[in-house]
A and B are shown apart, each in its own frame.
Chain A
Amino acid sequence: MFLKMLLGALARQKRKHLMIAFTVGLGVSLATAMLGVMFDVGDKVNQELKSYGANLNVIPKGASMLGEMYQLGGDEGGGPALSELESDFIREDELYKIKMIFWAYNIVDFAPFLTLGVEAGGRQVPLTGTWFDRHLSLPTGDEVDTGMTAMRSWWVLEGRPGDEADPGGVLVGRELADALGLAVGQTLEARAPGGRAATLRVRAVFESGGDDDRGIFAPLPLVQDLAGRPGLVQRVEVSALTTPENELARRAAQNPGSLTRIEWDTWYCTAYISSIAYQIEEILPGVRVKPVLRVAQSEGAILSKTQLMIILLTLLTLLCSSLAISNLVTANIMERSVEIGLLKALGATGLSISLLVLSEILLAAFGGGVAGYLVGLGLAQFIGLSVFGSTVAVKAVVIPIGALMVLAVTLLGSLPALRALLGLRPTEVLHGR
């Protein structure tokens, strides 16, 4: 009897139920899309912020940044003289280990650098050797492509990008190229202090907007040969995806020894910049890893702000779609006053009437919710693809949140109206107004 009435009602009052299904569907699709974007926006924005370059500097323990060039400092020298001590260098053949730390998958790119002052075109010029785009096969079986090209996204190149397969091809800074009258395709002679010399061919002229514009970037083996330091590099820049710092991370950065066992585990297993730095120091002996705070801190600030913003927007959306759904359900039930009065007059109990009405509404809501979920998935992908150019990974947790929301909201919307109607005598209702 109950089932028959339920099915009958669903079939006869198609329009009303469709309306409920439609509104619930809209609400759920909104919720799904927003929650999907909310859970994934951190990773996406983090990836985008990688365009600011490396956030970790790996240097040998003995060395410090004192020898680094000053930004626009006006020194005309061709870079500092190379140290004689092997402990002032990092071994190139150990660098693959950076991709084998606990947070290996968060290491987006890394590139080694070796800078040598050479004489080229009659003046002292800093010549920097690096990996442009190196392919590495790790002992773990993973294949990795890494190098400087991706870490200098702000460079404007005129010519072809650096290539590992072209051992004599170099990138020349705009200022230097203008001063020496160099153009793409030309060659120049570079003489190192030790008397070694090499012929460089200009693959591209780049504009970085910084000091690099006065230097030359070449494949690493070429510079190692000129410097007589085979297999050695001076420093490594690492670009890693990190979690914004919190109190724990700040304490750990000061002194990892001050943490309790549990705190230490939490810190070690979270992608804080300090824990990634610590792990690289663990795996590469004799190095010091310094977070580049300009990049690391800004990343944290922007990331947490963006996430908070999206969370608040999502909450607003959830609230509004909940209100809209319960509003509609209230309207729907109020419309049924005559029907409910008639049922009561025919002797139905309050419970059975409530059950009947609620199952009707919930069934319609369920149908709408499933459709809305699918539409929401599509919307989330649409947002992800058009903003970030990659799909949004919608977490499974969105489904229970959406289902709970629909259930709670539908019940909350139905019950007060139902109670009000059930409290009335059939005569009053059937009488009309």
Chain B
Amino acid sequence: MGSNRSFALRMVLWSLLRRRSRLLVALTGVTIGATVLLGLVTLCYDIPRQLGREFRSYGANMVFVKDVVGGRLGREDLEAIRRGLSGDSLVGLTPFRYEPVRNNMLPYTAVGTSFADVRLTSPFWQVGGEWPSAPGQILLGADVAEATRIQNGQRMAIDGRNGRQERYEKDFTVVGTVRTGGVEDGLIYMAMADMEEMTREPGLADLAEASLASGGTGLAGLEARVRAAAPSVEPRLVTRVTRSEETVLAKLTWLVYLVTLVVLSLTMICVTTTMMTVVMERRREIGLKKALGAENGRVAREFLAEGLMLGILGGLIGSFCGLLFARLVSYSVFGRGLTPELHLVPITVLASALVTIVASLWPVRKAVDVEPALVLKGE
């Protein structure tokens, strides 16, 4: 008797297990599809924007000068430029002021700037030592440091004449050297405030550099806004940076799109075949239902309803996993989170349901068309 009871129990368990595992297989398939769909489409939205930010490591892509030759930008000009550029795409805006100076009777060029902004607009600067953080501290270009043999921590006397031909002199502490392999190596950098105090001429800059995370038309729009906000300022695109960025970024974006397209279409086909296999397995059940008098439409509706539910459930779970995956990629590649495009979730669920239904439709129709007797007899 005991063996009989255990037999019945096992029958029930087996049936449950079978049904559950079949459900699980189908659900896994749909979930994979939804994960790939949402994850990749979210990344497609995000990657070009993120990569655009990475390209800002090439430095400024717009430069501002006064519209008269030899003119200088005043404080109000800089503020007007900043107003014109304000928005998400502004990575940094850095003023530069060049002054011919002397040290030990030898001529150099001193540059007044804002170090906090330089670090944003020119991330490629390699500074040995420290960035100036207090008044009276300067950075030497690598070539200047080599020529003068001044070490970090030592003092450097700088003198010169201002626009009114008044002589000035000031002692600075060298806290670091900057190396870029370009013209920066031959300059002396100090804070704008130090420059103003030294020359006794406040608030002037020869040019300002802006680093903008924006492409062709976006840059043109920003250019127009600056022209409107500061009419006496002449914005110029650094074509070397903008044009190269356009070509390279376009290719990388296209690469991401294409990869997404290929992966997405193949994954969807994969999901379809899995669903087909799962439904095909139930031909006997369909045959039985038909033999018991169920109409074709009724059987089909039942399967479609099941597919719809599977699609919705799988789509929801997959959306969650997909968002997680997109976040993971964004964090580990770009070190930034991404804003989840929540309106994509219903689209994903809908697409999953659609794929599931289409995938079940074909085998169900085949099974429904067949004589029940044939199906029930086996193959």
Residues of chain A at the chain B interface (Cβ within 8 Å): 16, 19, 22-23, 26-27, 29-30, 33-34, 37, 41, 45, 48-49, 51-53, 57, 64-66, 68-74, 153-154, 156, 207-210, 290-298, 301-302, 305-306, 308-310, 312-313, 316-317, 320-321, 323-325, 327-328, 330-332, 334-335, 337-338, 379, 383, 386-388, 417, 420, 424, 428, 431-433
Contacts and interface: CB of A to CB of B under 8 A. Distances in A.
B57 A209 contact: no
The secondary-structure label for the interface of chain B is helix
B97 to A, nearest CB: 11
Contact of B185 (A49, A65, A298, A317): A65
B237 interface: yes
Contacts of B126: 293, 297
Nearest to A13: B379
Given A71-B183, A328-B277, A332-B277, A64 B22 contact: no
A207 B239 contact: yes
B125 interface: yes
A53 B240 CA distance: 9
A324 B254 contact: no
A297 B267 contact: no
Interface in B1-56: 7, 10-11, 14-15, 17-18, 21-22, 25, 28-29, 32, 35-36, 39-40, 43, 47, 51, 54-55
5 contacts: A23-B273, A45-B252, A302-B51, A324-B271, A424-B14
B69 interface: yes
Contact of A65 (B182, B206, B240): B182
B248 A49 contact: yes
B259 interface: yes
B240 A297 contact: no
B141 to A, nearest CB: 8
A328 B251 contact: no
A298 B57 contact: yes
Contacts of B39: 316
Contacts of A292: 180-182
A387 B186 contact: no
B362 interface: no
A338 B378 CA distance: 10
Contact of A313 (B63, B241, B263, B334): B263
A208 B239 contact: yes
Contacts of B40: 313
B143 A64 contact: yes
Contacts of A308: 332-333
Given A49-B248, A298-B124, A305 B281 contact: no
B143 A66 contact: yes
B183 A331 contact: no
Nearest to B328: A312
A209 B143 contact: no
Interface of B: 7, 10-11, 14-15, 17-18, 21-22, 25, 28-29, 32, 35-36, 39-40, 43, 47, 51, 54-55, 57-59, 63, 65, 69-70, 98, 109, 122-126, 143, 146-147, 179-183, 185-186, 206-207, 236-244, 247-248, 251-252, 254-256, 258-259, 262-263, 266-267, 269-271, 273-274, 276-278, 280-281, 284, 325, 328-329, 332-334, 378
Given A383-B262, A431-B11, A290 B29 contact: no
B248 A51 contact: yes
B58 A37 contact: no
B255 A320 contact: no
Contacts of A310: 259
Contacts of B54: 301-302, 305
A309 B239 contact: no
A110 B280 CA distance: 65
A19 B258 contact: no
B240 A324 contact: no
A42 to B, nearest CB: 12
Given A294-B181, A334-B18, A386 B55 contact: no
Contacts of B267: 30, 320-321, 324
Nearest to B262: A379
A387 B147 CA distance: 47
B46 to A, nearest CB: 11
A48 B274 contact: no
